[in-house]
Chain A
């Protein structure tokens, strides 16, 4: 009997999920302030899930009014990130394309544009940052993959250092998850459809920084003593 055939309420399944969590934490050296979540719906469902959760978190954090527009940034280097940006817009959140590689390469996704061609906003002091920045680590349809280590300024590395550290980075790692070491601490959310490298189709793994789950509000009490 396989994992997809047993009850998710059974002791056998408890053992599987606990071991999977333990193994993942060890393999990726996942920091303690990150949660590992097992969801359904594959990577495509996460196109909307990331937006819904992070925009709710963001609206609470900044105590916005219904009239306030929320913006996210998308690095579009292939068809998957393009679809993710479209889903974001469909949900009423402005998807600002920091990179639109198709435009830059004359109508086809061919690679990762040089960083000088990225349109990363220089925010004014005290202005609100975007809710998150999103990219897809490996665009399978187009053969475009980020890689390397941005600390070494390798050409195709994702330039974490170019973004305000306050902005959570969301990454779709569906097709290259666990294919190489990843510094999880650089991310707000990592997700991956399990079917490529990890498990049964439909299962989706999410690794999320704890503070992005339940929004923390700071209350200020002034003591007179």
Chain B
């Protein structure tokens, strides 16, 4: 029986439901990566 593995990218804010803290926009590696290091508040 074939199994398909699908990988998706999720936002770090998803961590809140797993007991994590919200990462401030200015400290979020993902935010920086998404904006080519041009800081943008979520």
B23 near A213 (CB under 8 angstroms)? Answer: no
Instruction: List the A side residues contacting B12 at CB < 8 Å.
Output: 53, 56-57, 60, 214-215
Q: List A26-43 residues whose CB lies under 8 Å from chain B.
A: 35-40
Q: Give chain B interface residues in 1-42, CB to chain A under 8 Å.
A: 1-12, 14-15, 18-21, 23-24, 26-30, 32-33, 36-39
Query: Is A55 interfacial (CB-CB < 8 Å)?
Result: yes
The answer to whether A17 has its CB under 8 Å from any CB of chain B is yes
Instruction: Name B's interface SS.
Output: mixed
B29: chain A residues at CB < 8 Å are: 35, 37, 49, 53, 206, 208, 212-213
Those 6 A-B pairs whose CB atoms lie nearest each other, nearest first:
A66-B19, A56-B15, A214-B9, A59-B18, A38-B37, A59-B20
Per-residue 0/1 for A53-94: is the Cβ within 8 Å of any B Cβ (1 yes, 0 no)?
101110110111111100000000000000000000001000
**For B6, what are the chain A residues with a Cβ–Cβ distance below 8 Å?**
218-219, 221
Known pairs A53-B27, A53-B29, A59-B18; A216 contacts B9 (CB<8 A): yes
Are B18 and A214 closer than 8 Å at their CB atoms? no
Q: Is A8 an interface residue (CB 8 A)?
A: yes
Find the A residue at minimum CB distance from B15: A56
Interface residue A123 (Cβ < 8 Å from any Cβ of B)? no
**Docked CA distance A218–B6 (Å):** 6
Residues of A near B23 (CB, < 8 A) are: 52-53, 56
B interface residues, Cβ below 8 angstroms from A: 1-12, 14-15, 18-21, 23-24, 26-30, 32-33, 36-39
On chain A, the residues within 8 Å of B19 by CB distance are: 59, 64-68
Query: Are B7 and A52 within 8 A (Cβ)?
Result: no
> Closest Cβ of chain B: how far from A100's Cβ, in Å?
27
* CA–CA, A91 and B22, complex, Å: 12
Return B35 CB to nearest CB of chain A, in Å: 10
B2 touches A56 (CB 8 A): no
- A220 to chain B minimum Cβ distance, whole angstroms, is 6
| A120–chain B nearest beta-carbon distance, Å | 26
Q: Which of A172-225 contact B (CB under 8 A)?
A: 206, 208, 210, 212-224
Residues of A within 8 A of B26 (CB): 40
A-B pairs with beta carbons under 8 Å apart, 25 shown: A9-B38, A35-B33, A37-B29, A40-B39, A53-B29, A55-B21, A56-B15, A59-B15, A60-B15, A67-B19, A68-B19, A91-B21, A213-B30, A214-B11, A214-B30, A214-B33, A215-B12, A216-B8, A216-B10, A217-B8, A218-B7, A220-B5, A221-B3, A222-B3, A223-B1
